[in-house]
Amino acid sequence: MIKVLDSFVADKIAAGEVIERPVSAVKELVENSIDAGAGSIIVEIRNGGKSYIRVTDDGCGISFDEAETAFLRHATSKISGITDLDNIVSLGFRGEALASISAVSRLTMVTRRAEDMSGVKIVLHGGRVVSKDRTGCNKGTTVIAEDLFYNTPARRKFMKTDAREASSVIELIQQYAVCYAGIRFMMINNGITLFTTDGDGDPYNVIRMLYPTIAKHGLLHVENEHVKGYVSDPGSTMNTRKGQLFFVNGRLVSSTVIEKGLEEGYHGRIFSGFPAAVLFIEAEPCDIDVNIHPGKQEIRFLRQDEVKKDISEAVSTAVMSGSGIPKGFVRSIEKTLEKQLNIPAQQKDETEQTSIREFLKNLDRHDPYEMPETVETSAAAEVTETMYVPVSSPAEAEPEVIHKPAPFDFADLVFKGYVFNTYIIMQSKDDLYIFDQHAAHERVFYEKFMRGYNNSAHSPQPVLTSFTITVSNDVYSMSGEWLGDLIRMGYDIEDFGDCTFIVRGIPPYMSAGEAEGFARGYAEATGEAGGSNKVVIDKLITRSCKSAVKAHDVLSEHEINDLMSELAKCDNPYSCPHGRPTFIRISSYDIERSFRRK
Ligand code: ADP
Ligand code: MG
């Protein structure tokens, strides 16, 4: 017999699509508060939000008469007709959130409009109104959702541990606090206030407070017509995309178009890891489709290429202003190229550049290095590559990336110089070698670490002065998932409260500096990877090694020799743990050819 579903059943089914986890409920409630014009929003959760979620705002409130209507499916004050869908400016618009949350919890809403003498308290269980009374209360709205999914056991099973659910909620609130820097956000977890932002309207203050790991990446200011925010210096990347926050019209979104635009803005200067970025993007409401996912996280741009270009240009400007290379240097290389390629000298600058690029594009060669988008904005590393752009016999004249050319004898190498505080120049009889000190150090550290980890007793070696590491709130709340690993690796590390851990002992196979960077990198990477099986741990170790090693530490010749002999001992001296080459080779023949001696 075919039956029309009872509306409460239908709500429970539909709710699953919108409200998957506590964090989805929190997201909807916070968005309602923002839409209500709140200046202050308090979010409180217990047990990861499973047993208790409270969102309190000082927004416009709801009248006594409309309090019940708000819980009806498709009841919304935000759109009225189908044409409105093209011009969505508020965060919520489906009129489903309150209906969905109330369908799967025991919900209490207390609300009052400024103009009303008294407020209203309405209680719903599983979507049914249990009581509705007038009450005295502050202006604004409080929604309390308890025992989430108490009546949908199947859904309950999909929830993760309390710590993980809490972490997602905290992360979400951190993100909104950055995006809506003009709103004061308070986050309370299991009775403890984790943070309160100023609400002074400056996102940078919030980033500094809630994302110290992003802020320390030397943020550069991005500003053009539609794209504003901050990006990290190309030299400092993070292990995960967690340092990337994109907001489109005030909505936190994920979008591969934005990710690509961001990446392109660096013109290939990011070798491993991800840049940190907080970008606020404005788009015409009619140019975006926010309706493709019930959780609304994913966004589709109708003019993808334009958006990507806008972002990459804005990022590029910021990155170049931060650490661009002198124009004269690039131009002299261009001039050389121009001569080599026999391009008529009288052409104007722009055409010169284009024709060089065109020419190179048309050369039928399999270039592992793509030409930079614009020659002017290319980085030092790329210029090196450009310098060796071939004259007549392209494929041979390129610097060759060495993939295990065994046997390779480090003993043949003679130290010749050290440039850009990063690259070590060595020479053998017939070849010139350029070593990347950072990649080499990463490789050395990684192998030393793995050997130590596999062979030593892992008993911590006490440090003279203990040090502390501070992590973000979301990482802190998941310490159960990474702290134990560090202790097993040989750390004497202990929770010191307030997102801080004190380290009194370090693994015997690390220096203090390495140990600090590694622990921090490991904690940060855990949130992304999840789980704790061996493969994941290996991956985390690989990633975290990067944090243990600093670029641009100026090395003495003595240290360079040490690094070389350490590298020579490695099982795989040819690449860093992330697969970047540790050194490249340029043969004397290549050099002579470039000077047309051969
Ligand atoms: P939507 O946000 O898509 O309109 P919701 O189910 O989330 O749908 O909310 C229904 C309606 O209830 C909203 O349109 C709004 O009028 C009202 N509302 C919900 N939360 C609040 C709040 N915190 N303050 C004021 N009004 C609210
Ligand atoms: Mg809503």
The residues, ordered by sequence, that sit 6+ positions from 313 with a Cβ below 8 Å of its Cβ are: 224, 265
Rounded Cα distance, 94 and 25, in Å: 14
C-beta of 140 in contact with ligand 1 (< 6 A): no
What atom in ligand 1 is closest to the CA of residue 31?
2
Q: 202 with 222: CB under 8 angstroms? A: no
Q: Which atom of ligand 1 is nearest to the CA of 98?
A: 6
Mutate to test the pocket of ligand 1, among 24, 35, 40, 296 (most ligand atoms within 8 A of CB): 35
DSSP 320-356: HHHHPPPHHHHHHHHHHHHHHTT--TTS-HHHHHHHH
CB contact at 8 A, 576 and 542: no
Count the alpha carbons within 13 Å of 553 in the hemisphere toward its beta carbon: 16
Ligand 1 atom with the smallest distance to the CA of 77 is: 14
Of 459, 447, 509, 455, give the one whose Cα is nearest residue 487.
Answer: 459
Does the beta carbon of 61 sit less than 6 angstroms from any atom of ligand 1?
Answer: yes
Q: Is 141 in the pocket of ligand 1 (CB under 6 A)?
A: yes
Q: Is 487 left (phi over 0), alpha (psi -120 to 50) or beta?
A: alpha
Query: Ligand 1 atom 2: the closest Cα is on which residue?
Result: 92
Task: Provide the phi-psi class of 125: left if phi over 0, else alpha when psi is between -120 and 50, else beta.
Answer: beta
CA angle 302/27/474 to nearest 5° reads 110
> What is the bridge-based pairing of β-strands 40-46 and 184-189?
parallel
Nearest in space to 417 (alpha carbons), one of 557, 590, 554 = 557
Mutate to test the pocket of ligand 1, among 73, 98, 183 (most ligand atoms within 8 A of CB): 98
Residue whose Cα lies nearest atom 21 of ligand 1: it is 32
For each of the chain's 598 residues, which pLDDT tens digit applies?
555 555 655 555 555 456 889 999 999 999 999 999 999 999 999 999 999 999 999 999 999 999 999 998 776 766 554 455 455 555 655 678 899 999 999 999 999 999 999 999 999 999 999 999 999 999 999 999 999 999 988 888 889 999 999 999 999 999 899 999 999 999 999 999 999 999 999 888 898 888 877 777 668 889 888 999 999 876 667 778 888 889 998 888 888 999 999 998 887 666 567 888 999 999 887 788 765 554 446 788 888 999 999 999 999 888 776 532 222 222 333 333 334 333 333 333 333 333 323 322 332 333 322 323 322 322 222 222 222 222 336 333 334 343 333 346 788 889 999 998 889 999 988 888 899 998 898 888 888 877 777 766 667 888 888 899 998 888 898 888 889 888 888 899 999 988 999 999 998 878 888 888 888 888 887 766 554 445 556 666 776 677 666 655 788 888 898 899 989 988 778 777 766 778 888 888 878 877 878 7
Strands (E) across 351-473 are located at 400-401, 414-419, 423-427, 431-436, 461-470
Provide the sign of the torsion angle of the four alpha carbons 459, 536, 264, 300, taken in this order: negative
Q: Which residues contact 358 (CB under 8 A, 6 or more apart)?
A: none
Cβ(160) – ligand 1 distance below 6 Å? no
29 backbone φψ class: left, alpha, beta (φ>0; ψ -120 to 50): alpha
Domains and CATH numbers, the chain: 7-196 (3.30.565.10), 217-324 (3.30.230.10), 415-598 (3.30.1540.20)
Distance of CA 92 to the CA centre of its chain: 25
Q: How far is the CA of 76 from the centre of ligand 1 (A)?
A: 6
Classify residue 218 as left (phi > 0), alpha (psi -120 to 50) or beta. Answer: left
Paired residues of 560 in beta bridges: none
Name, in order, each residue with C-beta under 8 angstroms of 211's C-beta and a sequence gap of 6 or more. 174, 178, 243, 278, 472
Q: Coil, strand or helix: which one is 146?
A: strand
pLDDT for 419: 92
Spatial strand order of the sheet with 140-146 comes to 128-135, 119-125, 106-112, 140-146, 52-57, 40-46, 184-189, 192-196
Q: Please give the DSSP secondary-structure letter assigned to residue 105.
A: S
DSSP state of 575: B
How far is the C-alpha of 227 from the C-alpha of 84, rounded, in Å?
Answer: 25
Q: What is the rounded CA–CA span in Å between residue 60 and residue 37? A: 6
Contact 248, 299 (CB under 8 A): yes
Give yes or no for a contact between 229 and 181, defined as CB atoms under 8 angstroms apart. no
**Helix (H) or strand (E) run with residue 453 in it:** helix 437-455
Instruction: Name residue 502's beta-bridge partners.
Output: 468, 494
Strand runs (DSSP E) across 96-155, as ranges? Answer: 106-112, 119-125, 128-135, 140-146
Predicted local distance difference test score (pLDDT) of residue 537: 63
Q: Whose CA is nearest to atom 7 of ligand 1?
A: 97
- Please tell me the predicted confidence (pLDDT) of residue 45: 97
pTM for the model stands at 0.58
CB-CB contact of 21 with 168 (8 Å): yes
Question: Of 258, 234, 383, which Cα lies nearest the Cα of 322?
Answer: 234
Q: Where are the beta strands (DSSP E) in 179-307?
A: 184-189, 192-196, 220-223, 227-231, 244-248, 251-253, 277-281, 288-289, 300-301
CA-71 nearest atom, ligand 1: 6
User: Which atom of ligand 1 lies at the shortest distance from residue 93's CA?
Assistant: 3
471's torsion region: left (phi>0), alpha (psi -120 to 50) or beta? beta
**Structure tokens given for 577:** 């743990």
Nearest-angstrom CA–CA distance, 72 and 64: 15
The helix/strand/coil state of 398 is: coil
User: CA-CA distance, 485 to 334, in Å (whole number)?
Assistant: 52
Instruction: Check residue 445 and give its pLDDT.
Output: 85
What is the side-by-side strand order in the sheet with 431-436?
A: 400-401, 583-587, 431-436, 423-427, 414-419
